[in-house]
Amino acid sequence: MVVVMNLTAGPEQIQAVQQRLEQFGFEIHIIRGVNRLVIGAVGDRRMISSLGLESMPGVEKIVPIMKPYKLVSRESKGQNSLVKVKDVVIGGDDIVVIAGPCAVENREQLLTAARMVRQAGAVVLRGGAFKPRTSPYSFQGLEEEGLKLLAEASAETGLVTVTEIIDEASLELALEYVDIIQVGARNMQNFRLLRAVGRSGKPVLLKRGLSATIEEWLMAAEYVVSEGNENVVLCERGIRTYEIATRNTLDLSAVPVVKGQSHLPVIVDPSHATGERKLVAPMARAAVAAGADGLLIEVHPEPDKALSDGPQSLTPEDFSSLMAELRKVATAVGRHIK
Protein backbone atom coordinates (compact mmCIF):
# COMPACT_ATOMS: atom_id res chain seq x y z
CA MET A 1 0.00 0.00 0.00
CA VAL A 2 1.08 3.53 -0.67
CA VAL A 3 -0.11 6.36 1.57
CA VAL A 4 -0.03 9.75 -0.11
CA MET A 5 0.16 12.62 2.39
CA ASN A 6 -1.25 15.98 1.37
CA LEU A 7 0.78 19.11 0.72
CA THR A 8 0.22 20.61 4.13
CA ALA A 9 0.82 17.48 6.21
CA GLY A 10 3.05 18.32 9.14
CA PRO A 11 5.70 16.10 10.80
CA GLU A 12 3.42 15.02 13.67
CA GLN A 13 0.74 13.92 11.19
CA ILE A 14 3.28 11.91 9.24
CA GLN A 15 4.50 10.34 12.43
CA ALA A 16 0.99 9.41 13.50
CA VAL A 17 0.39 7.57 10.23
CA GLN A 18 3.72 5.85 10.56
CA GLN A 19 2.91 4.68 14.08
CA ARG A 20 -0.48 3.38 13.07
CA LEU A 21 1.10 1.36 10.26
CA GLU A 22 3.86 -0.03 12.43
CA GLN A 23 1.36 -0.95 15.11
CA PHE A 24 -0.38 -3.18 12.57
CA GLY A 25 2.88 -4.78 11.52
CA PHE A 26 3.57 -2.85 8.34
CA GLU A 27 7.10 -2.12 7.23
CA ILE A 28 7.59 1.53 6.32
CA HIS A 29 9.39 3.31 3.45
CA ILE A 30 9.34 7.10 3.33
CA ILE A 31 9.60 8.74 -0.11
CA ARG A 32 9.95 12.51 -0.23
CA GLY A 33 8.63 13.82 -3.54
CA VAL A 34 8.90 17.28 -5.05
CA ASN A 35 5.75 18.52 -3.37
CA ARG A 36 4.56 15.83 -1.06
CA LEU A 37 5.54 12.87 1.01
CA VAL A 38 4.55 9.32 0.19
CA ILE A 39 4.72 6.37 2.57
CA GLY A 40 5.20 2.91 1.12
CA ALA A 41 3.88 0.28 3.53
CA VAL A 42 4.49 -3.45 3.18
CA GLY A 43 2.10 -5.80 4.99
CA ASP A 44 -1.19 -7.65 4.87
CA ARG A 45 -3.51 -6.15 2.22
CA ARG A 46 -6.54 -7.40 4.09
CA MET A 47 -5.69 -5.17 7.07
CA ILE A 48 -6.10 -1.97 5.07
CA SER A 49 -9.79 -1.48 5.78
CA SER A 50 -9.16 -1.80 9.53
CA LEU A 51 -6.47 0.86 9.61
CA GLY A 52 -8.73 3.87 9.15
CA LEU A 53 -5.83 5.69 7.51
CA GLU A 54 -8.03 7.64 5.13
CA SER A 55 -9.55 9.47 8.07
CA MET A 56 -6.26 10.49 9.63
CA PRO A 57 -5.28 14.15 9.39
CA GLY A 58 -2.83 14.89 6.60
CA VAL A 59 -3.65 11.78 4.55
CA GLU A 60 -4.70 12.52 0.97
CA LYS A 61 -5.30 9.04 -0.35
CA ILE A 62 -4.41 5.37 -0.05
CA VAL A 63 -3.31 3.40 -3.09
CA PRO A 64 -3.50 -0.37 -2.58
CA ILE A 65 -0.93 -2.36 -4.54
CA MET A 66 -2.13 -5.91 -3.94
CA LYS A 67 -5.48 -7.25 -5.10
CA PRO A 68 -8.07 -7.54 -2.29
CA TYR A 69 -8.85 -11.19 -3.12
CA LYS A 70 -6.54 -14.05 -2.48
CA LEU A 71 -7.99 -17.55 -2.85
CA VAL A 72 -9.46 -16.94 -6.28
CA SER A 73 -6.43 -15.09 -7.65
CA ARG A 74 -4.24 -16.39 -10.41
CA GLU A 75 -1.30 -15.69 -8.13
CA SER A 76 -2.52 -18.20 -5.58
CA LYS A 77 -2.86 -20.89 -8.24
CA GLY A 78 -1.20 -20.85 -11.63
CA GLN A 79 -3.26 -23.65 -13.19
CA ASN A 80 -6.82 -23.28 -14.39
CA SER A 81 -9.38 -24.74 -12.00
CA LEU A 82 -11.65 -27.41 -13.36
CA VAL A 83 -15.17 -27.60 -11.97
CA LYS A 84 -16.52 -31.13 -12.31
CA VAL A 85 -20.21 -31.94 -12.16
CA LYS A 86 -20.97 -35.60 -12.85
CA ASP A 87 -19.37 -36.18 -16.26
CA VAL A 88 -19.22 -32.51 -17.18
CA VAL A 89 -15.95 -30.61 -16.73
CA ILE A 90 -16.02 -26.79 -16.87
CA GLY A 91 -12.74 -25.00 -17.48
CA GLY A 92 -11.01 -27.63 -19.60
CA ASP A 93 -10.64 -27.93 -23.36
CA ASP A 94 -14.31 -28.62 -23.89
CA ILE A 95 -16.57 -25.61 -24.11
CA VAL A 96 -19.64 -26.39 -22.04
CA VAL A 97 -23.02 -25.30 -23.41
CA ILE A 98 -25.82 -24.79 -20.89
CA ALA A 99 -29.25 -24.32 -22.44
CA GLY A 100 -32.93 -24.34 -21.64
CA PRO A 101 -35.85 -22.06 -20.92
CA CYS A 102 -35.65 -18.93 -18.77
CA ALA A 103 -38.42 -20.26 -16.51
CA VAL A 104 -39.70 -23.78 -15.97
CA GLU A 105 -43.35 -23.39 -16.94
CA ASN A 106 -44.76 -26.92 -17.07
CA ARG A 107 -43.73 -30.52 -17.57
CA GLU A 108 -44.17 -30.62 -21.31
CA GLN A 109 -42.35 -27.37 -21.95
CA LEU A 110 -39.33 -28.42 -19.88
CA LEU A 111 -39.06 -31.98 -21.13
CA THR A 112 -39.41 -30.87 -24.74
CA ALA A 113 -36.73 -28.24 -24.22
CA ALA A 114 -34.46 -30.72 -22.45
CA ARG A 115 -34.67 -33.29 -25.23
CA MET A 116 -34.09 -30.70 -27.89
CA VAL A 117 -31.10 -28.97 -26.33
CA ARG A 118 -29.55 -32.32 -25.52
CA GLN A 119 -30.04 -33.39 -29.11
CA ALA A 120 -28.25 -30.26 -30.28
CA GLY A 121 -25.27 -30.83 -27.97
CA ALA A 122 -25.95 -29.01 -24.72
CA VAL A 123 -24.65 -30.84 -21.66
CA VAL A 124 -26.32 -28.80 -18.92
CA LEU A 125 -30.03 -27.91 -18.69
CA ARG A 126 -31.05 -24.54 -17.28
CA GLY A 127 -34.51 -23.64 -16.02
CA GLY A 128 -35.67 -21.09 -13.49
CA ALA A 129 -37.92 -22.20 -10.63
CA PHE A 130 -37.52 -19.03 -8.55
CA LYS A 131 -37.70 -15.93 -10.72
CA PRO A 132 -36.57 -12.57 -9.38
CA ARG A 133 -38.91 -10.25 -11.30
CA THR A 134 -38.79 -6.47 -11.36
CA SER A 135 -42.56 -6.27 -11.05
CA PRO A 136 -44.57 -7.86 -8.23
CA TYR A 137 -47.27 -8.51 -10.80
CA SER A 138 -45.14 -10.81 -13.03
CA PHE A 139 -44.88 -14.63 -12.95
CA GLN A 140 -42.57 -15.59 -10.06
CA GLY A 141 -41.80 -19.23 -10.87
CA LEU A 142 -43.07 -22.73 -10.04
CA GLU A 143 -40.72 -23.09 -7.05
CA GLU A 144 -40.36 -26.68 -5.75
CA GLU A 145 -42.63 -28.00 -8.49
CA GLY A 146 -40.17 -26.54 -11.01
CA LEU A 147 -37.22 -28.17 -9.26
CA LYS A 148 -38.92 -31.56 -9.44
CA LEU A 149 -39.43 -31.13 -13.15
CA LEU A 150 -35.74 -30.30 -13.55
CA ALA A 151 -34.83 -33.49 -11.69
CA GLU A 152 -37.19 -35.47 -13.89
CA ALA A 153 -35.74 -33.94 -17.05
CA SER A 154 -32.27 -34.77 -15.81
CA ALA A 155 -33.24 -38.36 -15.06
CA GLU A 156 -34.67 -38.79 -18.52
CA THR A 157 -31.98 -37.05 -20.58
CA GLY A 158 -28.88 -37.45 -18.45
CA LEU A 159 -28.34 -33.70 -18.57
CA VAL A 160 -26.73 -31.98 -15.60
CA THR A 161 -29.05 -29.24 -14.23
CA VAL A 162 -28.64 -25.68 -13.00
CA THR A 163 -31.19 -23.35 -11.39
CA GLU A 164 -31.10 -19.95 -9.75
CA ILE A 165 -31.70 -19.62 -6.03
CA ILE A 166 -32.80 -16.35 -4.44
CA ASP A 167 -32.52 -16.89 -0.70
CA GLU A 168 -31.53 -19.53 1.83
CA ALA A 169 -34.89 -21.28 1.68
CA SER A 170 -34.73 -21.71 -2.10
CA LEU A 171 -31.09 -22.80 -1.77
CA GLU A 172 -32.03 -25.60 0.60
CA LEU A 173 -34.69 -26.84 -1.75
CA ALA A 174 -32.48 -26.58 -4.81
CA LEU A 175 -29.70 -28.55 -3.14
CA GLU A 176 -32.02 -31.55 -3.13
CA TYR A 177 -32.92 -31.48 -6.77
CA VAL A 178 -30.28 -29.86 -8.98
CA ASP A 179 -26.59 -30.20 -9.73
CA ILE A 180 -25.41 -26.61 -9.99
CA ILE A 181 -26.61 -23.63 -7.96
CA GLN A 182 -26.87 -20.34 -9.79
CA VAL A 183 -26.42 -17.05 -7.90
CA GLY A 184 -28.05 -14.37 -10.05
CA ALA A 185 -26.78 -10.90 -10.86
CA ARG A 186 -29.04 -9.27 -8.28
CA ASN A 187 -27.62 -11.46 -5.50
CA MET A 188 -23.96 -11.20 -6.40
CA GLN A 189 -23.40 -9.10 -3.29
CA ASN A 190 -25.87 -10.91 -1.06
CA PHE A 191 -23.01 -11.93 1.18
CA ARG A 192 -25.04 -14.13 3.52
CA LEU A 193 -26.28 -16.12 0.58
CA LEU A 194 -22.77 -16.40 -0.84
CA ARG A 195 -21.55 -17.84 2.44
CA ALA A 196 -24.46 -20.30 2.55
CA VAL A 197 -23.74 -21.39 -1.00
CA GLY A 198 -20.10 -21.71 -0.02
CA ARG A 199 -20.93 -23.96 2.92
CA SER A 200 -23.13 -26.17 0.72
CA GLY A 201 -20.11 -27.32 -1.26
CA LYS A 202 -22.21 -27.58 -4.46
CA PRO A 203 -20.89 -26.26 -7.76
CA VAL A 204 -21.89 -22.62 -8.17
CA LEU A 205 -22.56 -20.50 -11.22
CA LEU A 206 -21.87 -16.94 -10.05
CA LYS A 207 -23.26 -14.27 -12.35
CA ARG A 208 -21.67 -10.87 -12.47
CA GLY A 209 -23.75 -8.12 -10.88
CA LEU A 210 -25.37 -5.62 -13.21
CA SER A 211 -22.90 -2.92 -12.25
CA ALA A 212 -20.20 -4.96 -10.55
CA THR A 213 -16.57 -4.36 -11.35
CA ILE A 214 -14.51 -7.41 -12.15
CA GLU A 215 -12.78 -6.92 -8.81
CA GLU A 216 -16.08 -6.97 -6.90
CA TRP A 217 -17.14 -10.06 -8.82
CA LEU A 218 -13.95 -11.85 -7.84
CA MET A 219 -14.49 -10.70 -4.23
CA ALA A 220 -17.94 -12.32 -4.36
CA ALA A 221 -16.29 -15.53 -5.55
CA GLU A 222 -13.80 -15.15 -2.69
CA TYR A 223 -16.75 -15.23 -0.25
CA VAL A 224 -17.83 -18.60 -1.65
CA VAL A 225 -14.33 -20.07 -1.80
CA SER A 226 -13.46 -18.78 1.67
CA GLU A 227 -16.14 -21.16 2.98
CA GLY A 228 -14.23 -24.05 1.44
CA ASN A 229 -16.16 -24.40 -1.81
CA GLU A 230 -13.82 -24.10 -4.78
CA ASN A 231 -16.37 -25.14 -7.39
CA VAL A 232 -17.13 -21.67 -8.65
CA VAL A 233 -17.86 -20.87 -12.30
CA LEU A 234 -18.08 -17.16 -13.16
CA CYS A 235 -20.66 -15.97 -15.68
CA GLU A 236 -20.49 -12.67 -17.58
CA ARG A 237 -24.03 -11.55 -18.47
CA GLY A 238 -23.78 -7.92 -19.51
CA ILE A 239 -23.32 -4.74 -17.51
CA ARG A 240 -25.40 -1.62 -17.25
CA THR A 241 -24.22 1.26 -19.40
CA TYR A 242 -25.76 4.30 -21.04
CA GLU A 243 -26.39 2.36 -24.29
CA ILE A 244 -30.03 1.36 -24.75
CA ALA A 245 -29.80 -0.45 -28.08
CA THR A 246 -29.20 -3.67 -26.14
CA ARG A 247 -30.66 -4.59 -22.75
CA ASN A 248 -27.18 -4.61 -21.22
CA THR A 249 -23.70 -4.25 -22.68
CA LEU A 250 -21.98 -7.61 -22.92
CA ASP A 251 -18.47 -7.03 -21.58
CA LEU A 252 -16.58 -9.73 -23.43
CA SER A 253 -13.22 -8.26 -22.42
CA ALA A 254 -14.11 -9.54 -18.97
CA VAL A 255 -13.34 -13.05 -20.23
CA PRO A 256 -9.61 -12.55 -20.87
CA VAL A 257 -9.33 -10.15 -17.92
CA VAL A 258 -10.75 -12.75 -15.52
CA LYS A 259 -8.58 -15.45 -17.09
CA GLY A 260 -5.54 -13.29 -16.32
CA GLN A 261 -6.49 -12.51 -12.73
CA SER A 262 -8.12 -15.73 -11.58
CA HIS A 263 -7.88 -19.49 -12.04
CA LEU A 264 -11.67 -19.92 -12.06
CA PRO A 265 -13.57 -20.85 -15.24
CA VAL A 266 -15.68 -18.14 -16.88
CA ILE A 267 -18.68 -18.56 -19.14
CA VAL A 268 -20.91 -16.08 -20.99
CA ASP A 269 -24.69 -15.54 -21.14
CA PRO A 270 -25.44 -13.76 -24.43
CA SER A 271 -29.22 -14.15 -23.98
CA HIS A 272 -29.66 -11.94 -20.92
CA ALA A 273 -26.91 -9.57 -21.99
CA THR A 274 -28.47 -8.64 -25.29
CA GLY A 275 -32.15 -9.34 -24.59
CA GLU A 276 -32.70 -9.94 -28.28
CA ARG A 277 -32.83 -13.19 -30.18
CA LYS A 278 -31.00 -11.94 -33.28
CA LEU A 279 -27.97 -10.89 -31.23
CA VAL A 280 -27.53 -14.17 -29.37
CA ALA A 281 -25.78 -16.08 -32.15
CA PRO A 282 -23.12 -13.46 -33.02
CA MET A 283 -22.34 -12.81 -29.36
CA ALA A 284 -22.19 -16.53 -28.56
CA ARG A 285 -19.67 -17.00 -31.38
CA ALA A 286 -17.71 -13.99 -30.13
CA ALA A 287 -17.65 -15.35 -26.57
CA VAL A 288 -16.12 -18.61 -27.75
CA ALA A 289 -13.54 -16.73 -29.81
CA ALA A 290 -12.68 -14.57 -26.79
CA GLY A 291 -11.85 -17.67 -24.74
CA ALA A 292 -14.99 -18.38 -22.72
CA ASP A 293 -15.20 -21.82 -21.11
CA GLY A 294 -18.89 -22.12 -21.77
CA LEU A 295 -22.17 -20.50 -22.73
CA LEU A 296 -25.54 -20.09 -21.07
CA ILE A 297 -28.23 -19.83 -23.73
CA GLU A 298 -31.98 -19.52 -23.43
CA VAL A 299 -33.93 -21.93 -25.59
CA HIS A 300 -37.69 -22.28 -25.50
CA PRO A 301 -39.83 -24.67 -27.55
CA GLU A 302 -42.25 -21.82 -28.31
CA PRO A 303 -40.60 -18.48 -27.45
CA ASP A 304 -43.69 -16.41 -28.22
CA LYS A 305 -45.61 -18.26 -25.55
CA ALA A 306 -42.86 -17.97 -22.92
CA LEU A 307 -43.91 -16.58 -19.53
CA SER A 308 -40.54 -14.88 -19.13
CA ASP A 309 -37.94 -13.44 -21.49
CA GLY A 310 -39.44 -14.84 -24.67
CA PRO A 311 -37.89 -12.15 -26.92
CA GLN A 312 -34.39 -13.38 -26.18
CA SER A 313 -35.05 -17.13 -26.33
CA LEU A 314 -33.92 -19.16 -29.32
CA THR A 315 -36.14 -21.74 -30.91
CA PRO A 316 -34.72 -25.27 -30.81
CA GLU A 317 -34.00 -24.96 -34.55
CA ASP A 318 -32.06 -21.72 -34.10
CA PHE A 319 -30.14 -23.30 -31.25
CA SER A 320 -29.24 -26.31 -33.30
CA SER A 321 -27.86 -24.14 -36.12
CA LEU A 322 -25.97 -22.05 -33.61
CA MET A 323 -24.32 -25.15 -32.13
CA ALA A 324 -23.04 -26.05 -35.58
CA GLU A 325 -21.52 -22.58 -35.95
CA LEU A 326 -20.05 -22.66 -32.46
CA ARG A 327 -18.31 -25.96 -33.12
CA LYS A 328 -16.45 -24.36 -36.02
CA VAL A 329 -15.39 -21.34 -33.98
CA ALA A 330 -14.34 -23.59 -31.09
CA THR A 331 -12.14 -25.59 -33.42
CA ALA A 332 -10.66 -22.39 -34.83
CA VAL A 333 -9.47 -21.40 -31.35
CA GLY A 334 -8.25 -24.87 -30.40
CA ARG A 335 -11.22 -25.82 -28.22
CA HIS A 336 -13.95 -28.38 -28.63
CA ILE A 337 -17.73 -28.56 -28.26
CA LYS A 338 -19.45 -31.86 -27.74
Considering only residues 37-96, where is the footprint of its own copies by CB under 8 A?
38, 40, 42-44, 46, 49-50, 52, 54-57, 63, 65-66, 68-69, 75
The verdict on 13 binding its own copies (CB under 8 A) reads no
CA distance 309 to 298: 9
CA distance 30 to 36: 11
Q: How does strand 180-183 pair with strand 160-165? A: parallel
The verdict on 23 binding its own copies (CB under 8 A) reads no
CB 131, CB 140: distance < 8 Å: yes
Alpha-carbon Rg for the chain, nearest whole angstrom, is 23
Among 18, 249, 320, 321, binds its own copies (CB under 8 A): 249
| CB 251 to its own copies: min, Å | 5
| CB 162 to its own copies: min, Å | 20
Nearer to its own copies, 144 or 251 (CB): 251
Size of the site for its own copies (CB under 8 A): 106
230 three-class SS: coil
CA distance 143 to 128: 8
CA distance 226 to 77: 15
CB 123, CB 92: distance < 8 Å: no
CA distance 250 to 285: 13
Among 123, 174, 250, 299, binds its own copies (CB under 8 A): 250
Nearer to its own copies, 164 or 179 (CB): 164
Nearer to its own copies, 53 or 124 (CB): 53
| CB 35 to its own copies: min, Å | 7
- Letter for the amino acid at 13? Q
| CB 82 to its own copies: min, Å | 20
Nearer to its own copies, 92 or 132 (CB): 132
| CB 138 to its own copies: min, Å | 5
In 3D space, the residue among 317, 234, 318, 242 whose CA is nearest the CA of residue 276 turns out to be 318
In 3D space, the residue among 134, 192, 132 whose CA is nearest the CA of residue 165 turns out to be 132
Nearer to its own copies, 157 or 312 (CB): 312
Nearer to its own copies, 45 or 86 (CB): 45
| Residues of this chain, 258-317, that bind its own copies according to CB under 8 A | 260, 273-274, 277-279, 282-283, 285-291, 303-308, 310-311, 313
| Residues of this chain, 126-165, that bind its own copies according to CB under 8 A | 132-140
Nearer to its own copies, 153 or 281 (CB): 281
Strand partners, 266: 234
| CB 61 to its own copies: min, Å | 9
Among 151, 216, 320, 321, binds its own copies (CB under 8 A): 216
| CB 179 to its own copies: min, Å | 23
Helices (H), 85-209: 107-120, 144-157, 168-177, 191-200
| CB 304 to its own copies: min, Å | 4
Please list, in sequence order, all residues whose beta carbon lies within 8 angstroms of the beta carbon of residue 33, skipping any fewer than 6 positions away: none
CB 259, CB 290: distance < 8 Å: no
